[in-house]
Structure formats: C-alpha cells, structure tokens
Amino acid sequence: MILLNPGPVNLSPGVRAALSLPDLCHREPEFAELQACIRAGLLEAYGLSHQRWAAVLLTGSGTAAVEAMITSLVPKTGYLLVIDNGVYGERMSRIAQLHNIEYYALRYAWGDGARTAEVAAFLDKQPKVSHVALVHHETTTGRLNKLGEIGKLCAARGIGVLLDAVSSFGAEQIDFEGCAIVGCAATANKCLHGVPGVSFVVAQREKLNAPNCTPRTLYLDLAAYCREQDQGGTPFTQSVQAFYALAAALDEFKEQGGLAQRQERYRQLSQQLRAGLSQRGLHALLKEDECSVVLSAFRLPKGLGYEQLHDRLKERGFVIYAGQGRFAREIFRISTMGEITRDDIERLLDAIGEIVRIPN
C-alpha cells in the first residue's frame, strides 16, 4: 500500500530492518549511545550547535512534543499569542487553555495565511506577549506559514517563537536563529521517515533552564528529560524500537544529502503531482508558492465524493487523506513524505485519471 497521508509513512527497507535489532534495556550504555546519536543527528539536520541547542526526545506522537514545548517553555508569567489558521493552530490554543496559560489566538480562515502586518500590530498593541506559537506547515491545507516574516517581527521585539514543525522538520528550511525560535516540536514519522512513537523538541538550552520556567506536567517536562538525556539517561521508558528506527532514518537522511536533498525530492514529487492532476482537471487549493513541498490539498471534482475517491484508490493500492472540518467535503490531501517515487506518483495519476473519467 502506498501511503499518501501525512505520516505515518512508508518505510525504507533499512528503517524496517532497524525495528528488529537486538532487544535493549533503556538503562544500559547501548541505549545511551543510541539516544546520543539521535540527538546529535537532529541538531545536525539544521546545523545547530550542541552548546546552544538541545534535541529532547519523548515517547509519544507529535502532539506530545507540541504540548511539552508549550508547557515547558512558556513561563508562569508568560503570555502566548497563537497564530491559528488550521487544525494544528487551534490545537495549540487548546493546549494553552487546558494548562491555564494566558493566551490570545489570532484566527484566520482555514486556507488563509496569517497577515504579517496584523501580527505586528497585535504585538505592538499587546506588550505582554512573551511568546508566539506558530504552525510552520499547517497540514490542514498544505499552507507553509510565513515563518521568516513572523520570526523577524518576534526577533526585533525580544519575543520567543514556539514552532510546531511536526510536518516540516527535515523538509523545509527553518532559520532557528533569525526567527527567534526557542522551541521547535517535531516527530520521527513524518518528513524524517521513522516510525510513530518518538517525537522531540529542539529547544534553546538557556530557555529550558530559565528560573521562572517551572514544570506544569510530570511526563512532559522538557527540562527534566534534557537533564537526564545529557547524562545518557531517560526519566521514563522510551520506545526503544522506534529509537532504532529513527537512528536508521537519520542515517539515510544524511546519506541522501540531508535537508536540501529531501526538500528537493519532495518538491519534484509535488510538482509532478500538481501538474499531473491539473492536466486531469483537478486543481490545487493553494498556489505552489503558498504551499509546503510536503503536502498539497486538491479540490474534489464535481460529482465525486471523498469516500468514493478514497475507496477506489485504496482498491488500487493508494491511501489518500481527507480534508478536515469544513473542508471534509471539498478537498482531498496528498503528501509525498516517505519512500515514495516518481513511478508511484505516475501510477497514482493514472489511477485518479481513470476514476475521474468514469466516476461510477
């Protein structure tokens, strides 16, 4: 089955093989070595220094990392501005609300981008904002939010950025220093091509140890994870097999040319897909330059429901992804993360062409 959903992804043979490496106790030096290797690989992916940054590993899905980031990096006296233009922006507001973090959500219609001038105006009007929470690639629509512009606004005002890069880490550029990033949450099983079960936050060390940042939860306390991981330990049992898989996935990421090459590979697949679907009369929701290279949303053709398209493609070996909320009846989404080739996309285009020609 070819998975065109935004994670979990089709695995490479190497990553799959890593899942059956020898059993390992998480209190033994072999585990410490595995953990250190992953942490170094994650920083290396973006050329970040170990002195200033820490990759903190959690056992949990991407949402665990996002919740850990927000609860561990916004101090008790902090105030969060959430930029919300989709499901994942909304989720960050929900996290802030549940943990009694003072926040305000600047909401945009799904599909729209945040307007930088409005963000600037809000920040100037509300000097109490200490952090901005932003989704880098809003997977709801495929939109790549303007991290560069918003990050610069924050940097100029001494405001920290908390980035949900769950569906962009490994595939899109992130200027950590220029964008005032203090925390960046992501996961193993999207653009890095590992398996579900490990997620992580790349955080500024100095901010993790800030004196006014006391933990809000036991399990998601990043500072505690970081302290123990720096010593080769872990506060709780980690998903050892998922760690093995992530280490193998990071080796492949590096061998294949790292971030630049992964971005280029996704870009080519995305262009192939957008051009091919357009030829078959199916149009993208957003323009290419508004979109991540990772995923595009397409309008459903008239007279063909999502379920029908999904089921007919599944019969042919492809899993596509539905729209959410008000988009459920309007769009379908295709991600090209994972072991997907140009041939797979060609066969997908043929299959969609066939289904669209003879809808019943």
Q: What letters, b where the CB count within 10 A reaches 16 and e where it falls short, cover 26-52? A: beeeebbebbeebbebbbbbbebeeee
Which residue's Cβ lies closest to ligand PLP?
A: 62
x/- site string to ligand PLP, residues 47 to 66, per CB under 6 A?
A: --------------xxx--x
Question: Given the rule CB under 6 A, which of 28-36, 40-48, 164-172, 240-248 is the region that contacts ligand PLP?
Answer: 164-172
Dist CA 3 CA 274 (whole Å)? 17
Q: How many CB atoms lie within 10 A of CB 249?
A: 27
CA–CA gap between residue 186 and residue 179 (Å, rounded): 17
What residues does 58 pair with on adjacent strands?
A: 199
Joined tokens for residue 288: 């290419």
Bond preceding residue 196 cis, omega within 30 of 0: no
Residues 6+ apart with CB under 8 A from 157: 123
- Is 172 one of the binding residues for ligand PLP (CB under 6 A)? no
Given 59, 167, 238, 239, the residue binding ligand PLP (CB under 6 A): 167
Question: Considering only residues 124-153, where is the footprint of ligand PLP by CB under 6 A?
Answer: 135, 139
Shortest distance, position 220 Cβ to ligand PLP, whole Å: 13
- If one asks whether residue 88 binds ligand PLP (CB under 6 A), the answer comes out as yes
**Min. distance of Cβ 66 from ligand PLP in angstroms?**
6
Sole binder of ligand PLP in the list 59, 71, 141, 187 (CB under 6 A): 187
Q: Helix or strand or coil: residue 311?
A: helix
4 binds ligand PLP per the rule CB under 6 A:
no
CB of 121 to ligand PLP, least distance (A): 26
The contact set with ligand PLP (CB under 6 A) reads 6, 61-63, 66, 88, 135, 139, 164, 166-167, 187
